[in-house]
């Protein structure tokens, strides 16, 4: 059970006399017996009130498309939960999703939550090592996947897992690969549970792995109560209503796609657009118009790619229904905001949050004046501050405007993570004087807006995905030629940062182009495209601190491909 060995650290703040989230809590229905379940709020509630309303509309680059009503979605989630029950997957255990974007993925998310399981998303581009680490670390009881991903990825790691999780294949069509189950057949045979498993606000709901500088990725554990803040921010920040058509371009293998691509908008009852393809400027612009998207949530990487395509190119497409555009995940510089105004007639509104916060914390919310280059203001109910950490572990708060320091949050919002799975000491390290330390550096201006400055650690953000230097280095060190390895981020006009590996070779190996290619292929095979380094730089020796730690900052500064100004400091 995820709960049993889970996260012993209580992050609950001292008692408050007022509850700024009271209205948000009341906006959720709750289970008939008084509990709280995300899937109930995201599907069943609307299925009762508006069964024919479209919950999900999906499209594929090859022209296939379809839609699922709230009535059908609730039914599918109930059958999925029944299938888990039939396989003996107990509430509180973790169900991983290794799926392409699409309706089966939405069913797996809601069905797992409905069964009281802990849903853990995996990005389909992960190679065998990231998959193995997360499946083992999250104690997978089951994995939902597709035939293609089973063949390409999961089958390569499954036998190394002890105990071996059950594998449910969503598109097996009556012919599941050996050692797997046909999910559709199980769902057809299942007794759909009429009510979700009785979860409460503090029941574990999802486990999202995130990267740190040291150690393996950490599983941030979230509970069903997180939906209070997710639902509220969907309404108040993104301005969503049940009449909206909402498109969040993030993959639900990452936290933004899971929370704002599925849970939050469905809890509001709007129509969610899911595109199963990758970025393609022409197709994406076409989709915005064709799908009548009213609210769009995307990333600075996508904005930069659209800018490349040009203002006139964008203007050549029509989006008469688009009311608002938002961005998240990386710094959104002032030029990108203005590009939105020029090309779409609307600014891109920046929002800031992270895996651990579970919901948007700082934003240029719907209805607010947009300040180009600023992340915006804290969402109502969020207490954000700038502080400096003292040597004794305490905090000194910075009151002077425009002074850079750690961005810290008072941890009393409903969607805060409840800890890293099985790593209480890493959880404790995120807190000082009771405040949550985000790991980001920021400044606050005299008007109370927050501006992103950079990461306080060495974590790399490539195309909006957090990449742990440790994970990349571990894969490289497994190659016999590598004596020492360090991964750093190189500023890139499109991806934000590229992963660069610095390698010192063992004595018998020469720093040739062939060796470089061999190491790149090795890393790509183990890590997959999302985490693998783009370039290998050979060094005779690594710069080190006195205590012998490799100085990634020095390597980064000495990377000949690094420009003087990083995107993180723009705006």
Judged by the rule CB under 6 A, the positions of this chain that interact with ligand AMP are 210, 255, 328-332, 350-352, 354-355, 375, 438-440, 452, 455, 461, 466
Q: How far is the CB of 425 from ligand AMP (least distance, A)?
A: 20
Tell me whether residue 449 or residue 455 sits nearer to ligand AMP (CB atom). Answer: 455
Q: Which residue has the tokens 């948000």?
A: 24
Tell me the HSE value of 347 on the side-chain side, using a 13 A CA sphere.
20
Q: How far is the CB of 515 from ligand AMP (least distance, A)?
A: 32
β-bridge mates for residue 363, sequence order? 351, 377
β-bridge mates for residue 461, sequence order? 466
Tell me whether residue 210 or residue 249 sits nearer to ligand AMP (CB atom). Answer: 210
Helix (H) or strand (E) holding 111: helix 103-114
- Under a CB-based contact definition with an 8 Å cutoff, are residues 116 and 203 in contact? yes
Q: How far is the CB of 374 from ligand AMP (least distance, A)?
A: 10
- Under a CB-based contact definition with an 8 Å cutoff, are residues 137 and 422 in contact? yes
Tell me whether residue 250 or residue 537 sits nearer to ligand AMP (CB atom). Answer: 250
Look at residue 55 and give its three-state secondary structure. strand
Tell me whether residue 154 or residue 453 sits nearer to ligand AMP (CB atom). Answer: 453
Q: How far is the CB of 500 from ligand AMP (least distance, A)?
A: 18
Q: How far is the CB of 439 from ligand AMP (least distance, A)?
A: 6
Q: How far is the CB of 440 from ligand AMP (least distance, A)?
A: 5
Look at residue 305 and give its three-state secondary structure. helix
Q: How far is the CB of 461 from ligand AMP (least distance, A)?
A: 6
Give, in order, the Cα–Cα distances in Å from 547 to each of 134, 391, 505, 540, 543.
30, 18, 22, 19, 11
Tell me whether residue 455 or residue 522 sits nearer to ligand AMP (CB atom). Answer: 455
User: What is the distance between the alpha carbons of residues 83 and 112, in angstroms, rounded to a whole number?
Assistant: 10
- Under a CB-based contact definition with an 8 Å cutoff, are residues 374 and 350 in contact? yes
Q: How far is the CB of 227 from ligand AMP (least distance, A)?
A: 18
Tell me whether residue 180 or residue 438 sits nearer to ligand AMP (CB atom). Answer: 438
- Under a CB-based contact definition with an 8 Å cutoff, are residues 229 and 267 in contact? no
Q: How far is the CB of 407 from ligand AMP (least distance, A)?
A: 8
Tell me whether residue 246 or residue 254 sits nearer to ligand AMP (CB atom). Answer: 254
Q: How far is the CB of 239 from ligand AMP (least distance, A)?
A: 18
Q: How far is the CB of 236 from ligand AMP (least distance, A)?
A: 17
Nearest to 500 by CA among 523, 478, 480: 523
Tell me whether residue 255 or residue 387 sits nearer to ligand AMP (CB atom). Answer: 255
Tell me whether residue 210 or residue 301 sits nearer to ligand AMP (CB atom). Answer: 210
- Under a CB-based contact definition with an 8 Å cutoff, are residues 339 and 313 in contact? no
Tell me whether residue 318 or residue 493 sits nearer to ligand AMP (CB atom). Answer: 493
Nearest to 171 by CA among 156, 153, 185: 185
Q: Which residue has the tokens 């690094």?
A: 562
Q: What DSSP state is assigned to residue 15?
A: P
DSSP for 142-185, please give it: EEEE-HHHIIIIIHHHGGGSSSPPEEEETT-TT-PPTT-EEHHH
Give, in order, the Cα–Cα distances in Å from 55 to each of 42, 45, 106, 113, 178.
9, 12, 10, 17, 34
Tell me whether residue 375 or residue 379 sits nearer to ligand AMP (CB atom). Answer: 375
């Amino acid at each position: 059970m995820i709960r049993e060995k889970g996260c012993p650290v209580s992050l609950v703040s001292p008692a408050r006399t007022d509850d700024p989230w009271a209205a948000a809590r009341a906006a959720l229905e709750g289970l008939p017996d008084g509990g709280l379940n995300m899937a109930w709020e995201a599907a069943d509630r609307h299925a009762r009130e508006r069964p024919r309303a479209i919950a999900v509309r999906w499209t594929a680059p090859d022209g296939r498309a379809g839609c699922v009503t709230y009535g059908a979605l609730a039914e599918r989630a109930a059958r999925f939960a029944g299938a888990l029950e039939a396989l003996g997957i107990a509430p509180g255990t973790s169900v991983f999703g290794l799926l392409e974007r699409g309706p089966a993925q939405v069913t797996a998310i809601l069905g797992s939550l409905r069964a009281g399981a802990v849903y853990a998303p995996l990005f389909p581009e992960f190679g065998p090592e990231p998959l193995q680490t997360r499946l083992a670390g999250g104690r997978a009881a089951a994995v939902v996947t597709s035939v293609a991903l089973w063949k390409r990825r999961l089958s390569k790691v499954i036998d190394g897992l002890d105990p071996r999780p059950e594998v449910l294949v969503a598109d097996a069509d009556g012919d599941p690969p050996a050692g797997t189950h046909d999910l559709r057949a199980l769902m057809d045979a299942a007794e759909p549970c009429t009510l979700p498993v009785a979860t409460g606000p503090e029941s574990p709901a999802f486990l999202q792995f995130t990267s740190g500088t040291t150690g393996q990725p950490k599983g941030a554990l979230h509970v069903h109560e997180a939906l209070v803040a997710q639902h509220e921010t969907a309404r108040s920040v993104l301005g969503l209503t049940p009449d909206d058509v909402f498109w969040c371009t993030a993959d639900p293998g990452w936290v933004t796609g899971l929370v704002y691509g599925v849970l939050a908008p469905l809890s509001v009852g709007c129509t969610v657009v899911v595109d199963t393809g990758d970025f393609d400027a022409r197709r994406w612009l076409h989709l915005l118009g064709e799908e009548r998207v009213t609210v769009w949530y995307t990333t600075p990487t996508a904005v930069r790619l659209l800018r490349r395509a040009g203002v006139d190119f964008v203007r050549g497409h029509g989006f008469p229904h688009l009311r608002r555009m938002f961005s998240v995940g990386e710094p959104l510089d002032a030029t990108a905001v203005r590009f939105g105004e020029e090309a779409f007639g609307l600014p891109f509104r920046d929002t800031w949050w992270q895996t651990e916060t579970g919901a948007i914390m700082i934003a240029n919310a719907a209805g607010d004046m947009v300040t180009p280059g600023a992340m915006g203001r804290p969402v109502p109910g969020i207490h954000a501050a700038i502080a400096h950490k003292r040597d004794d572990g305490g905090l000194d708060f910075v009151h002077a405007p425009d002074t850079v320091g750690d961005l810290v949050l008072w941890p009393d919002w409903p969607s805060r993570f409840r800890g890293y799975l099985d790593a209480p000491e890493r959880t404790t390290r995120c807190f000082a004087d009771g405040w949550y330390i985000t790991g980001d550096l920021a400044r606050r201006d005299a008007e109370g807006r927050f501006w992103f400055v950079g990461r306080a650690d060495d974590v790399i953000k490539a195309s909006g995905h957090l990449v742990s230097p440790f994970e990349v280095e571990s894969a490289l060190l497994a190659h016999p030629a590598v004596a020492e390895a360090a991964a750093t981020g190189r500023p890139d006009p499109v991806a934000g940062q590229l992963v660069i590996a610095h390698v010192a070779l063992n004595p018998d190996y020469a720093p040739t182009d062939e060796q470089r290619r061999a190491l790149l292929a090795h890393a790509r095979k183990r890590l997959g495209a999302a985490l693998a380094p783009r370039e290998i730089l050979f060094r005779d020796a690594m710069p080190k601190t006195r205590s012998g730690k490799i100085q990634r900052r020095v390597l980064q500064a000495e990377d000949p491909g690094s420009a003087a100004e990083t995107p993180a400091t723009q705006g």
